Every structure is written in structure tokens, then in C-alpha cells.
């Protein structure tokens, strides 16, 4: 299934009616009376709005929003809006439950409503056809035979993988937590899902996932079920160019928009 997705909307595809909800306020990006912000050393400036820890603890999930003013290749100013969110967390409050294509209309309505609460308005057609700049596919593999994720993670470290990839294994204290294959444009990760929730209870920075605070209560119910462990597998396509490359490889040369990517949820099966 698709978990995290990043939509990047061009200027004119969205309207911000509560600029002060962002930090810093987006007023300085477009309003001359507010005083234009000076662009930084990289010729851009960003305004962000993220879910707070308190909201996540209360079960309120929101996307991470980033508005950037920058100079494009043509030498003109542009102000795109990046919307990063976990689709299942938005709809269900967790990413254990898996989505289907039939859930897409509900996702659109939920996302549109939440964005409005965050001071951003979009026409539904712009949201449906929003360009996708990054997408993470995932699978939760339940282990009920008394094996643990560490058993599989340990074997993964022994594989002779393609040398073009950078291999990084991260251990949290005495237990193997995750194993990743990384390249510039994509990443493949395997990790202990329940262990990740434990780490998030200590600190979000120690967890593999973002915004785990939202689903910490799931661990309390899972620990009552024995045997029950979860190995999580993710394929993270982090560049639009890589998404296009995979679409071409599987013979689905369509524009990587929100609706098209959701319809092609099996794309991760074809990643070589």
C-alpha cells in the first residue's frame, strides 16, 4: 500500500487564507506591505506548518506543509506548496490498516477538510491531479510463528547487494532495529514496527517513522497478543525522476499525479 506521499502544487493551484498559521508567516512571501523576506543563501525561503506534539497525542493528524519562495531555472520567482502526509494515518489514525483504491475519494475529502483547517484552500480537481514528488510504499508483515523481525534483519545484512547502493544498518542499543538500502533517488527499508513505536515513546527522533506519537496506543494493545511481531518493509521513491523511471519500466507511462499514483499501488513490486 501507499503510506507517505508528497504533493507539490504550483503557484495558482492553492490559496492560503491564514498566512499566520505558518512559521514564519507567508505574508512576507507575497505581501509587499508586510515587507518581503530576503531570500537566503540558496536563493529561497521556506514557511512551514507541521502537526504539533500535543495534536498528535490527542489523535489529531495533519500533513506537514512547506511553502517555498525560490527562483526557478528560468530566473523567475515561484512559490510551490509541498504537502507531505501519511495517507493511512490521515484516514485511520495509524498505518497498520491498509488502504485500497476505493478509499481515494474519502482521502481527498478528508485531506481537503484538514487543509482548510490549516488555512489552505484547494479546488478538489487540483488536489486529485496534484503532482507527486515523492512516494513511500509499505507492507506490514505480521509474524505469528514466534520469529522476530531481528531474525530477518540479521539475514538481510548478509546479502550481497548492488554496490551502487549505500548500506546502512542502525542498532538501537542491544537490538537490531532497522536495515536500509540507500541510493540518491530511492531507499528500501526494513524495520521492527513495534520496536519503532517503543523508540518513539522515548523520543520521536529515535524512531524510523515521523509522527509516531499518533499511534503509540497501538503498542499497548498489541503487546497483549502473543506471538505477534511486525516486520515493516518500505520502498521510498524520493524523487519525481525516479517515479517516472519506474512508471516507464512497468509500462505505465502516465503523469505521476496523486490519482494516477494511487491507482498504481503495486509499483513497488517492480522496483529492481
Q: Is 28 in the same domain as 56? A: yes
Residue 269 lies in a domain: no
* 180 occurs within a structural domain: yes
Tell me what percent of the residues of the chain surpass a pLDDT of 90.
Answer: 38
Q: Are 125 and 165 members of one domain?
A: no
Question: Where is the domain boundary, 110, 130, 150?
Answer: 130
> Is residue 147 domain-shared with residue 84, that is, in the same domain?
no
Residue where one domain finishes, among candidates 130, 147, 167: 130
Q: Same domain, yes or no, for 96 and 120?
A: yes
Q: Which of 130, 151, 183 is the last residue of a domain?
A: 130
Residue 268 lies in a domain: no
pLDDT of residue 34: 62
Identify the band that residue 218 occupies on the pLDDT scale cut at 50, 70 and 90: low
C-beta contacts of 57-64 below 8 A and 24+ residues apart:
57/213, 59/93, 59/214, 61/85, 61/86, 61/89, 61/90, 61/93, 61/114, 61/211, 61/214, 62/114, 62/117, 62/118, 63/90, 63/111, 63/114, 63/115, 63/118, 64/210
The reply to whether 142 and 126 lie within a common domain is no
The pLDDT score that the predictor gives to residue 259 is 94
More confident position, 143 or 74: 143
User: What's the CA gap between 210 and 68, in Å, rounded?
Assistant: 21
Q: pLDDT tens digit string along 28-78? A: 887 766 666 666 656 788 999 999 989 988 889 999 999 999 887 777 789
At residue 198, the pLDDT reads 73
> Per-residue pLDDT for 223 more than 60?
no
- Examine residue 257 and state whether it is found in any structural domain, yes or no: no
Domain that holds residue 121: 2-130
pLDDT over threshold 80, residue 142:
yes
Residues 31/132, Cβ–Cβ less than 8 Å: no
Between residues 120 and 30, the one the model is more confident about: 120
Which of 237, 27, 253, 9 lies closest to 115 in space, CA to CA?
9
Is 234 contained in some domain? Answer: yes
Q: Is the pLDDT of residue 247 over 80?
A: yes
Number of other CB atoms surrounding residue 143 within 10 Å: 17
The answer to whether position 254 is within a domain reads no
Residues 6+ apart with CB under 8 A from 38: 45
Are 101 and 163 in the same domain?
no
Same domain, 115 and 148: no
Strands (E), 91-185: 120-121, 132-143, 166-172, 175-182
Q: Rounded to an integer, what distance in angstroms lies between the CA atom of residue 230 and that of residue 65?
A: 30
The count of domains in the chain is 2
Question: Residue 183 and residue 222: Cα distance in Å, rounded?
Answer: 34
Q: Are residues 92 and 51 in contact, defined by beta-carbon separation less than 8 angstroms? A: no
State whether 8 and 121 are in the same domain. yes
- 6 plus 111 within the same structural domain: yes
Instruction: Tell me the whole-structure pTM to 2 decimals.
Output: 0.86
Residue 126 shares a structural domain with residue 142: no
* Residue 154: band (very low, low, confident or very high) from pLDDT cuts 50, 70, 90: confident
Are 105 and 144 part of one and the same domain? Answer: no
Domain match, 125 and 17 both: yes
Cα–Cα distances (Å) from 246 to 112, 115, 168, 264, in that order, read: 28, 30, 23, 11
What pLDDT is stored for residue 40 in this prediction?
A: 60
Q: Can you tell me the distance from the alpha carbon of 211 to that of 205, in angstroms, rounded to the nearest whole number?
A: 10
Give CA–CA dist 96/209, Å, rounded: 13
Does a structural domain hold residue 243?
A: no
Q: Would 245 be classed as within a structural domain?
A: no
What is the SS3 assignment for 63? Answer: coil
Q: What is the mean pLDDT of residues 13-17?
A: 96
pLDDT in tens, 251-269: 888 899 999 999 876 554 4
pLDDT score of 107: 95
Amino acid at each position: 500500500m501507499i503510506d507517505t506521499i508528497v504533493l507539490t502544487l504550483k503557484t495558482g493551484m492553492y490559496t492560503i487564507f491564514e498566512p499566520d498559521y505558518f512559521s514564519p508567516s507567508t505574508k512576507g512571501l507575497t505581501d509587499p506591505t508586510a515587507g518581503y523576506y530576503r531570500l537566503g543563501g540558496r536563493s529561497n525561503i521556506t514557511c512551514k506548518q507541521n502537526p504539533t506534539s500535543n495534536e498528535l497525542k490527542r489523535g489529531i493528524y495533519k500533513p506537514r506543509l512547506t511553502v517555498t519562495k525560490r527562483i526557478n531555472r528560468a530566473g523567475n520567482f515561484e512559490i510551490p506548496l509541498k504537502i507531505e502526509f501519511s495517507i493511512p494515518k490521515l484516514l485511520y489514525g495509524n498505518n497498520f490498516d491498509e488502504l485500497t483504491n476505493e478509499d481515494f475519494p474519502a482521502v481527498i475529502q478528508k485531506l481537503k477538510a484538514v487543509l482548510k483547517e490549516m488555512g489552505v484552500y484547494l479546488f478538489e480537481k487540483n488536489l486529485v491531479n496534484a503532482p507527486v514528488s515523492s512516494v513511500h510504499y509499505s507492507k506490514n508483515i505480521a509474524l505469528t510463528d514466534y520469529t522476530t523481525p531481528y531474525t530477518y534483519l540479521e539475514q538481510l545484512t548478509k546479502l550481497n547487494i548492488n554496490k551502487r547502493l549505500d548500506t546502512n544498518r542502525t542498532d538501537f542499543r542491544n537490538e537490531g532495529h532497522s536495515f536500509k538500502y540507500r541510493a540518491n533517488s530511492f531507499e528500501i527499508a526494513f524495520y521492527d514496527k513495534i520496536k519503532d513505536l517503543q523508540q518513539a515513546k522515548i523520543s520521536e527522533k529515535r524512531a524510523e517513522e515521523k509522527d509516531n506519537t499518533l499511534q503509540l496506543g497501538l503498542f499497548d494493545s498489541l503487546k497483549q497478543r502473543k506471538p505477534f511481531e511486525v516486520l515493516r518493509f518500505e520502498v521510498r521513491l524520493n524523487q519525481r525522476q525516479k517515479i517516472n523511471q519506474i512508471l516507464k519500466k512497468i509500462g505505465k507511462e502516465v503523469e505521476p499525479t496523486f490519482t494516477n499514483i494511487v491507482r498504481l499501488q503495486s509499483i513497488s513490486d517492480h522496483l529492481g
